[in-house]
Each structure stands twice: as structure tokens, then as C-alpha cells.
């Protein structure tokens, strides 16, 4: 039976679990009729993740939130899954790129993107305009 993932079908954080599932040979299905801002604020959803964020994976042992934790859970469903690597240095490299993507890219992406789509003035632009020194 498939595990149910709560997220929209374009959610980048949901993709982590779906990709891990594909490589692992585990069935993960997106919940039907997910509506951002509605489904993830329902009382049933908030029982699974009190801060109302997606993705959340329903497992036979209860829900898991945080996309990296979900991807790791799905990957660990297969014993000795090569996705984790097969030596100490390979494990470290897998963790290195997970952390890099999360802490260096994801954490900063909105700060980079928002000025470029015209919603705010970037720090560099302010400095160029001599508002900052």
C-alpha cells in the first residue's frame, strides 16, 4: 500500500520524498485534492504538523514532517539502500549535499529571488544607489 504525502503536486520539498521513493522502489502518493492554505490548515492536518507546513508523510507509525526527514525515512525503508552511499566518506558526501541544499540554497533563495522579480530592492542595489556605505 502506498504511503500518503501531503503536499501540492509542484511542491519542491515534496519532490524530495517522491524522488527518493522512485529510486528506492517505495510507493508514495500525493494526497488527493490538496489545496495550499486550506488543506494544510485543517484541524486534521495540524494534528500531523502543528505549524501547518507541507510536506507531511503519513506512515503506519504516525506522521513525519520536514522534507529531509521524510526523504531519509523513505530511503531507509530499503535495507542497505545505496542512496546513502557505501562508505564513511560517501555517507558524509550525501549529508554534505543535503545540508548544502537546505542551509545554503533553500535558506537564501527567497532573498536572491525576490529583488529580481521586483518585490524588493536588493542590498547590492541599495549600496550602488549609495543608500548604504
Ligand X SMILES: N[C@@H](CCC(=O)N[C@@H](CS)C(=O)NCC(=O)O)C(=O)O
- Residues engaged in binding ligand X (CB under 6 A): 11, 13, 40, 52-55, 66-67
Instruction: Please say which residue, 110 or 121, places its beta carbon nearer to ligand X.
Output: 110
CA distance 41 to 26: 28
CA distance 77 to 59: 11
Instruction: Please say which residue, 67 or 75, places its beta carbon nearer to ligand X.
Output: 67
Closest approach of ligand X to the CB of residue 104, in Å? 14
Under 8 Å between Cβ of 105 and 98: no
Closest approach of ligand X to the CB of residue 54, in Å? 4
Place of cell 543535503: 98
Closest approach of ligand X to the CB of residue 112, in Å? 16
Instruction: Please say which residue, 26 or 64, places its beta carbon nearer to ligand X.
Output: 64
Instruction: Please say which residue, 66 or 95, places its beta carbon nearer to ligand X.
Output: 66
Under 8 Å between Cβ of 29 and 3: yes
CA distance 101 to 85: 18
Determine how β-strand 28-30 pairs with β-strand 3-6.
parallel
Q: Which three cell numbers stand for residue 29?
A: 502518493
Closest approach of ligand X to the CB of residue 79, in Å? 25
Amino acid at each position: 500500500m502506498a504511503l500518503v504525502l501531503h503536499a501540492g503536486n509542484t511542491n519542491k520539498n515534496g519532490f524530495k520524498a517522491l524522488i527518493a521513493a522512485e529510486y528506492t522502489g517505495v510507493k508514495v502518493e500525493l494526497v488527493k485534492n490538496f489545496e495550499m492554505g486550506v488543506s494544510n490548515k485543517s484541524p486534521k492536518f495540524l494534528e500531523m504538523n502543528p505549524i501547518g507546513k507541507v510536506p507531511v508523510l503519513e506512515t503506519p507509525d504516525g506522521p513525519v514532517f520536514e522534507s529531509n526527514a521524510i526523504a531519509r525515512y523513505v530511503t531507509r525503508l530499503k535495507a542497505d539502500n545505496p542512496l546513502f552511499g557505501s562508505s564513511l566518506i560517501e555517507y558524509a558526501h550525501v549529508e554534505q549535499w543535503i545540508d548544502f541544499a537546505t542551509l545554503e540554497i533553500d535558506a537564501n533563495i527567497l532573498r536572491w529571488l525576490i529583488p529580481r522579480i521586483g518585490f524588493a530592492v536588493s542590498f547590492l542595489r541599495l549600496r550602488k544607489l549609495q543608500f548604504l556605505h
